[in-house]
Structure 1
Amino acid sequence: MKVLYVSYEVYPLAKVGGLADVAGALPKYLRDLGVEIDILMPFHKSVDKNVTSKTGSILKTRFMKREISFELYKKSRPLGNVDVFLLSNDELMDSEEVYGASDLGLQAMSFSDAAAGFAADKGYDIVHLNDWHTGLMAVYLKQANANCRTVFSIHNLAYQGTYGREYLQLSGIESRYLDYISEGSDINFMKAGLVYSDKLSTVSPTYAHEIQTEEYGAGLERILSRRDRDLVGILNGIDYSEYDPEKDPRLWVNYGLNSIEKKEINKSNLQLLLGLPKNRVPLFGLISRLVGQKGLDLIEEIRGELVSLPMQLVVLGTGEKKYEEMLRDLQEDHPDKVAVKLTFDLDLAQKIYAGADFFLMPSRYEPCGLGQMFAMRYGTVPVVRYTGGLADTVKEYGLSDHGNGFGFVDYNGESLLEALKKALGVFDHDVFWREVVSNAMKEDFSWEASAKNYLSLYKQTLEVKRNA
């Protein structure tokens, strides 16, 4: 079985969010299962050129009304025995940010066109597409009558890639396909992937059900409901070789389940680094894009009650100005309780996973979420809203066997506050606290099980009769 895994971000070459972690890990585990797999991604301006080499090949778009060329590069050393190919065009990849191009729609369309040609020429059996940036590949592969099947993974349905009439006209997509991927005079890249891929997946079983409802379907719930038999939810994993508290070089002190007392040293050093008082009150970590999806509005709703609780809070991330300002104000008003770092810092993120007592994820929706998995790996107990992958991975302590965290269902500040108070109550009881930390660390969210599920999906996909 020969598979091409297509993603706009791949760790460690380019990372914005969880997609990069998935793309940097899953192919390696599929390779271990005997899958012949390559990765294809754009050559973003931020990618280190020293780790790549030119192949000498030029790829051109085949369907768009305007021909665009790409140079094909290859990562010098395979990523866990997986070759990584990169398509380069300096005019289109004109930003240091992965999604910051001056014309992201044109970039994604032309990349998808050229990438479809690459996949067809190389004879891949399956092309695994990820999120809206690659959605048009499903259409271009059909239009090319390519002898390969497609799997389309939804990492976040809310971001769809909708562009105006001029992109529709430029696409070169035949009229027989256009009616199914357009919205009025606009073209919807996500919709293209959902309609024309042979199989669909998303990143948790609960999210697979949620996106078929009006509340979470973002206008595409009818399409997803019609394709229910082709849609599967496969929980993401995390790379246990990369995220290992016993070996992680970014920690002040390494520790494991049998040396959990050393975690306290990481907490003390983290408090010192952040300028927070060094004391035993529980430290909550929040590492996130600072946007409404992530429950920042709930924190704003209970900000007064929050700072009155016996706890400290550290926030790491960037996002909407209103939330950045709200958090900055909290820090200024309560410097002994709140530390805010409005940046993207992988080193500090690891120190927070290891040094915090609790990890906060009060998301409005969360397709899978990796933060809660990282946190549990490091013995940091999650406090979440039970939605999407959070509902699939966090079990309420005291209500379920082997409870590993705390959470709430109703999306409002009062429910969040109740969950926080329950978590704080358990923290104050040493026996219960040791139990919930132990339960969290014993969870296995490694990629082995997920990779086997994807391999099964690939096998099912190969059995699909291809309809033009």
Structure 2
Amino acid sequence: MNILFATSEAVPLAKTGGLADVAGALPKALAKYGADARVILPKYEEIPTHYVEQFQLIAEFQVPFGWRNQYCGLQKATIDGISYYLIDNEFYFRRKGLYGYGDDAERFVFYCFAVMESARHLDFKPDIVHCHDWQAGLIPFLLRTRYAFDPSWAYVKSVFTIHNLMYQGLFGAEVLKELTGAGEELFGWDGLAHRGGASCLKGALEFADKLTTVSPTYAHEIQTPYYGEHLDSVLRYRQEDLRGIVNGIDLELFDPMNDDALHTPYRNSIGRKRKNKIDLQRELGLPESADIPMIGIVSRLVEQKGFDLIAATLDELLQEEVQLVVLGAGDRKYEELFLDAARRYPEKMAIWLGYSDRMARRIYAGSDLFAMPSKFEPCGISQLLALRYRSVPVVRETGGLRDTVHAYNEYTGEGNGFTFANYNAHDYLYTVRRALAFYREEETWKRIIENGARSDYSWHVSAKAYMDVYAELAAHRKENEPWPVI
């Protein structure tokens, strides 16, 4: 089976968030099931030079969209066994950063049209085009409309994955009409129209053959008004085609036994893990002690991640015998909150503003507890990494957090973390204090860590679920549509 991943970012080429991790890791996992999964994304200025140098030009062509006729270079390289294609147009993509420009609508409409035009020049024919988030959201729409009778796309089915429903590619309806050349009939309630404008993501929700999102709980949540971002009615209508599949992590890339960022390699040894805590305390200028419980946070500092709960209880928490280490950047009010706390509690609080892969790994390894009290969390990768590094998660029961972290039950001995349901600051604080109480019971703490170690959050499980989705589409095609005669 041939799968073409259409995504705006993918590890190791370009990354701003978890989407890139999925687009980079999932094709490798699919390959183990015999799928030929390839990735196509824009050629950004941000892509490291040593990767860019590996790409070779395989085609040059013009991309017509709206009244425009823009150049596109199609480049290819094989990296870590996976074929990557780059859409090259310096006018749109030779810029600092991936997103956030005033012409993002035009940039990613061009990208979608360029992917469609690329099919004539690719060295393989996809059976499935798997599109990710709003930047690729118009591809299922174009597949059903503008390119419905294009031989290059004959019998190709589409899958669309929602990584975060909040980001919808919402623009003025007249803007997208002009860019796509689509008529008024495609901008009604059952087309691109959304909240007085037009949404690229809604185009995918209406026109993709199958929809997935990144956890079973999030798939259920987004069908409700609270989480549905004004698209819950569409998702309820498509519920038979919607499936939640939890993301995985690359167990080779994230392995505490083979991680150069760590002071001491370990697997399940609490003693060896705590040597990493002492080394992290030394680096951050905190008092060095294996016994003081350390809470780690690696996150964007935004409200979605539950930082208003943390802010409301921070002083109370820091009255406990505890250390809090935060890595991240985001809203200035949260950055200032932690900077101020670090000044007032220099023996209990440390913050690393910005992002560092090395420091993130050291926090996963050095922390005893890992806090993620998210307001909503489609899947979450950090709690999976915390479990991999034997740090016990403290999470709110939402989205993928609910699917992957299960509350410790002192009566049955089951559970790999600590959870709370209500989005309430003192429910969060109570849960942290409960976790700290069990931390002081050495045998209980070992049992909780052992429970987490038994969980399988590799891409193996997720890839099998995606293969099932692809197989459903392939079976439907085989039953109802003849294969094209080439």
Residue type at the aligned position of 2:21: D
- Deviation at residue 81 of structure 1 after TM alignment: 1.8
| More displaced 10-residue stretch of structure 1: 380-389 or 181-190 | 181-190
Q: For residue 432 of structure 1, what is the aligned residue in structure 2?
A: 444
TM-superposed CA distance for 1:102, in Å, is 4.6
**Which deviates more from structure 2 when the two are superposed, residues 351-360 or residues 394-403?**
394-403
Answering whether residue 152 of structure 2 is matched by residue 149 of structure 1, we say: no
- Is 1:278 equivalent to 2:281 in the alignment? no
> Match for 1:356: what amino acid?
S
Contact kept, 8 Å, 2:194 with 2:202, in 1: the verdict is no
Q: CA RMSD in A?
A: 1.7
Partner Cα separation in structure 2 for residue 17 and residue 139 of structure 1 = 25
Q: 1:59 to 1:276 in 2, by over 3 A?
A: farther
Q: Does 1:17 align with 2:17?
A: yes
Give the partner amino acid of 2:72: F
Are 2:413 and 2:447, in contact at CA under 8 Å, matched by a contact in 1?
Answer: no
For residue 172 of structure 1, the aligned residue among 178, 181, 188 is 181
Match of 1:48 in 2: 48
Structure 2 residue corresponding to 1:235, chosen from 246, 260, 267:
246
> What pairs up with 1:13-412 in 2 under 5 angstroms?
13-52=13-52, 53-75=55-77, 78-119=78-119, 122=122, 123-142=125-144, 143-145=146-148, 146-147=153-154, 148-164=156-172, 165-179=174-188, 180-183=191-194, 186-257=197-268, 259-279=269-289, 280-398=291-409, 402-412=414-424
Distance 1:276 1:95, change over 3 A: farther
TM-score (ref. length: structure 1):
0.95
Q: 2:131, 2:476 → 1: CA distance?
A: 17
1:284–1:312 contact (8 Å) kept in structure 2: yes
Q: What is the CA distance between 1:185 and its match in structure 2?
A: 5.3
Q: CA deviation at 1:463?
A: 4.0
Of 371-380 and 330-339, deviating more is 330-339
Q: Do the aligned residues in 2 keep the contact of 1:168 with 1:185 (CA within 8 Å)?
A: no
In the alignment, the residues of structure 1 paired with residue 460 and residue 247 of structure 2 have an alpha-carbon distance, to the nearest angstrom, of 10
Identity between Structure 1 and Structure 2 (%): 39
CA contact (8 A) 1:285 1:353 kept: yes
Distance of 1:61 and 1:364 partners within structure 2: 41
Q: Which amino acid aligns with 2:187?
A: L
Unaligned runs of 5+ in 2: 482-486
Aligned pairs, how many? 464
* Structure 2 CA distance for partners of 1:306 and 1:95, relative to 1, 3 Å: farther
Asked if 1 retains the 8 angstrom alpha-carbon contact of 2:397 and 2:419, the reply is yes
2:484 corresponds to which residue? Answer: none
Mean alpha-carbon deviation: is it higher for 282-291 or for 457-466? 457-466
- TM-score after normalising by structure 2: 0.92
**Equivalent residue letter for 1:227:** R
Tell me, in whole angstroms, the C-alpha distance in 2 between the residues paired with 1:158 and 1:106: 20
CA distance in 1, matches of 2:61, 2:370: 45
The 3-state SS of whatever aligns with 1:92 is helix
Q: Provide closer, same or farther for how the CA distance between residues 324 and 59 of structure 1 changes in structure 2, counting only shifts above 3 A.
A: farther
Q: Which whole-Å deviations, capped at 9, do the CAs of 1:296-325 have from their partners, x for residues lacking one?
A: 111111122121122111111111111111
CA distance in 2, matches of 1:184, 1:452: 36
Q: Measure how far apart 1:126 and its partner are.
A: 0.5
Q: Is the 8 A contact 1:9 1:41 kept in 2?
A: yes
Contact 1:93-1:101 at 8 Å conserved across structures: no
Contact 1:119 1:127 in 2 (8 A): no
Counterparts in 2 of 1:34 and 1:227: CA distance versus 1, 3 Å: same
Q: Distance in 1 between matches of 2:66 and 2:367?
A: 50
Shift of the 422–43 alpha-carbon distance from structure 1 to 2, 3 Å rule, reads: same
Structure 1 residue 163: Cα displacement: 1.1
**CA contact under 8 A between 1:41 and 1:86: conserved in structure 2?**
yes
Deviations 1:259-283 (A, max 9, x none): 3321111100111111111122111
* 8 A contact 1:359–1:382 mirrored in 2: yes
User: C-alpha separation between the residues in 1 aligned to 2:345 and 2:202?
Assistant: 46
Query: What are the Cα deviations for residues 365-384 of structure 1, in whole angstroms up to 9, with x where unaligned?
Result: 00000100000011100000
8 Å contact from structure 1 (residues 31, 81) kept in 2 = no
Could you tell me whether the CA contact under 8 Å between 1:154 and 1:202 is conserved in 2?
yes
Per-residue deviation at 1:178? Answer: 2.5
Quote the Cα distance in structure 2 between the aligned partners of 1:28 and 1:79.
Answer: 11
User: Counterparts of 2:262 and 2:273 in 1: how far apart (Å)?
Assistant: 10
